[in-house]
Amino acid sequence: MIADLDDGTVPAEEPSEPDVTEELLEQALTERKALVQLCLYALDRARSPGVVERLEQGLAGIGVSALRPDGAVFDPAHHEAGGTVPTGDAAQDGLVAETEVVGFEDRGQLLRAPIVIVYKAQQS
């Protein structure tokens, strides 16, 4: 039973511990997401390979992986085609020749698909 205060009013209930914990967790996750997006923005504009490497290492430390699928089979569900390059080697047809824009995933969830150049076999 809640006791009345001296003035006859009932004190407001304080948030329970789990409610506060869930709220703080939600806030932390929201802030993490914003920081990851800020890092991706900075990576896209970084001119120094050392800065790029350090940012990617830091992101990897929290579960955000860079995606450079060079040599992999092009998969439109996971890659964005930025163009093609001709090849005389039929075995290379459909493989990623190079990554134009690095993609990123956060613990398996795609944040940004890599933009890639795909080998296209030349017609004889």
Please write down the HEC assignment for all residues of 42-107: HHHHCCCHHHHHHHHHHHHHCCEEEECCCCCECCCCCCEEEEEEEECCHHHCCEEEEEEECEEEEC
| 36, 111 Cβ separation under 8 angstroms | yes
Q: What percentage of the chain exceeds 70 in pLDDT?
A: 85
The model carries a pTM of 0.76
Residue 91 φ then ψ, to 5°: -70, -25
Tokens matching residue 1? 């039973």
What amino acid is encoded at 29 in this protein? L
pLDDT in tens, 39-64: 999 999 999 999 999 999 999 999 99
What pLDDT was estimated at residue 19? 82
